[in-house]
């Protein structure tokens, strides 16, 4: 079967995302645009993943639980997990051990909103999620794997992306799949064959099918296989 996917979407929990990024509204967009499979990847937290997974499932859209980890090098790493509990466990680890207790004024830095199945705001994360966690890139890759997840280097060709921030691909990242934002990046001779494209949507209008995956089911194992298939099971959709 072919599934239309977008594996990098933020919710209203991310301080830089619009507060309209609620489960019901994202569900409507996915259905209207034919999207079958997504990932919710908020900055340094999986606080909204459970409710999004529940709501999206009701309209036939599967959700990969994720987190966009902000490393000490100011590089973003997408962490994907096999189930909600694993994502929530890693999120709790970040908050408990790796995120400095820095509070924000939401009117200045953005609201970090927790939401329920009815799109009602039920709480707000007080610790700033837009800051680096006390983890290097290599430590992030290691701890995500230890928690059953897989890592993808986020938007390597934009701000907070690996190549833009560091100017190179470190040795420990050579085997890690890369998310690219621009088709022209393919001409740079990337050191990995495992490439994905996503919207990194922070607003409803940016959500769109960005890859097509050939899989028998929308399971984490099929997702993982497609990500590491060197393009055999995953096709990028460009505008």
Domain ranges of the chain: 2-236
Its pTM surpasses 0.75: yes
Q: Which pLDDT score, from 0 to 100, does residue 55 have? A: 98
Q: Which pLDDT score, from 0 to 100, does residue 133 have? A: 98
- Three-state helix/strand/coil letters over 49-103: HHHHHHHHHHCCCEEEEEEEEECCCCCEEEEECCCHHHHHHHHHHHHHHHCCCCE
Q: Which pLDDT score, from 0 to 100, does residue 193 have? A: 80
Q: Which pLDDT score, from 0 to 100, does residue 192 have? A: 77
Q: DSSP class of residue 190?
A: -
Span 2-236 CATH architecture: Alpha-Beta Barrel (3.20)
Q: Which pLDDT score, from 0 to 100, does residue 189 have? A: 74
DSSP 115-156: E-TTS-EEEE--B-TTSPPS--HHHHHHHHHHTT-EEEE--T
Q: Which pLDDT score, from 0 to 100, does residue 106 have? A: 93
Reduced to 3 states (helix: H, G, I; strand: E, B; else coil), residue 195 is strand
Distance of CA 123 to the CA centre of its chain: 21
Query: How far is 40 from 21, CA to CA, in rounded Å?
Result: 11
What's the average pLDDT block by block, 10 residues per block, for the chain (239 residues)? 98 98 98 98 98 98 98 98 98 98 92 98 97 98 98 97 94 94 86 90 98 97 94 91
Strand bridging mode 37-43 / 2-9: parallel
Q: Which pLDDT score, from 0 to 100, does residue 232 have? A: 87
Q: Which pLDDT score, from 0 to 100, does residue 104 have? A: 86
Query: How far is 191 from 194, CA to CA, in rounded Å?
Result: 9
Q: How many CA atoms lie within 13 A of 182 on its CB side?
A: 11
């Amino acid at each position: 079967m072919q599934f239309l996917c977008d594996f990098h979407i933020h919710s209203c929990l991310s301080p830089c995302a619009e507060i309209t990024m609620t489960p019901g509204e994202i569900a409507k967009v996915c259905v209207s645009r034919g999207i079958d499979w997504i990932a919710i990847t908020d900055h340094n937290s999986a606080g909204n993943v459970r409710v999004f997974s529940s709501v999206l499932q009701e309209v036939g859209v599967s959700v990969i639980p994720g987190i966009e980890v902000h490393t000490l090098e100011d590089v973003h790493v997408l962490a994907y997990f096999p189930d909600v509990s694993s994502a929530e466990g890693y999120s709790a680890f970040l908050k408990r051990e790796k995120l400095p207790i820095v509070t924000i004024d939401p009117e200045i830095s953005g609201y970090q909103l927790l939401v329920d199945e009815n799109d009602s705001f039920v709480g707000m994360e007080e610790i700033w999620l837009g800051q680096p966690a006390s983890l290097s890139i290599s430590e992030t890759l290691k701890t995500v794997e230890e928690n059953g997840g897989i890592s993808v280097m986020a938007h390597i060709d934009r701000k907070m992306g690996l190549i833009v921030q560091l100017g190179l691909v470190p040795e420990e990242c050579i085997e890690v799949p890369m998310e690219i934002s621009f088709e022209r990046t393919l001409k740079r001779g990337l050191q990995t064959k495992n490439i994905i494209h996503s919207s990194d949507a922070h607003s409803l209008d940016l959500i769109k099918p960005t890859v097509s995956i050939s899989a028998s089911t929308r399971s984490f194992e099929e997702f993982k296989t497609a990500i590491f298939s060197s393009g055999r099971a995953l096709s990028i959709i460009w505008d």
